[in-house]
Amino acid sequence: EQHDFIKAYYSRLTSDDVEVRRAAAREWTRWEMATSRLFPDPEYLDKAEDLDFAVAFARIECHYFINAIFVEEAYILNHVSTIQEIPTTIVQGRYDMVCPARSAWQLHKALPNSKLVMVADAGHSMGETSIARELVAATDAIE
């Protein structure tokens, strides 16, 4: 079980025992909330204590992970030619522990006309002020 923690969590998150589901969901959600932002936000971290939210959040996210996000490995990079002509801005938090910066860099290199915005004071979450600001700026720039 320790060799595949996604599978282990999936079995707990889909358990018939509500307490097992809730305990697993709380820990999954705590981890996600703790790793998705550069600076801890107590209110954000407290979402894990809302067990209805935590169960829904963790089960959906784990369902995607156990199914490899429903796409083949490197799907976007392998099909990047289909979006070559679309103006693209990639917003990436420098301290993103969820989606490594190398992924954004690889996409940027594959899309020569793209703009990569590396946000110096952010992690993964679009709820972080700096990420939100850059996403709004990118959206505002669309003609």
| Residue 29 and residue 52 in contact, taking contact as beta carbons nearer than 8 Å | no
Spatial contact of 47 and 29, defined as CB atoms under 8 Å apart: yes
* Least reliable range by pLDDT among 32-36, 39-43, 72-76, 129-133: 39-43
**pLDDT tens, position by position, 51-74:** 999 999 999 999 999 999 999 999
- Tallying the residues shown for the chain, one arrives at 143
For the chain, list the strands marked E by DSSP: 89-93, 115-119
Give me the residue spans of the domains in the chain: 5-70, 75-140
* 29 pLDDT higher than 90: yes
Asked whether residue 143 carries a pLDDT value surpassing 90, the answer given is no
Whether residue 35 contacts residue 98, with contact meaning beta carbons closer than 8 Å, is answered with yes
Mean pLDDT for 122-143 is 95
Q: What percent of the chain has pLDDT over 70?
A: 99
Contacts of residue 81, Cβ cutoff 8 Å, sequence gap at least 6 = none
pTM for this one?
0.86
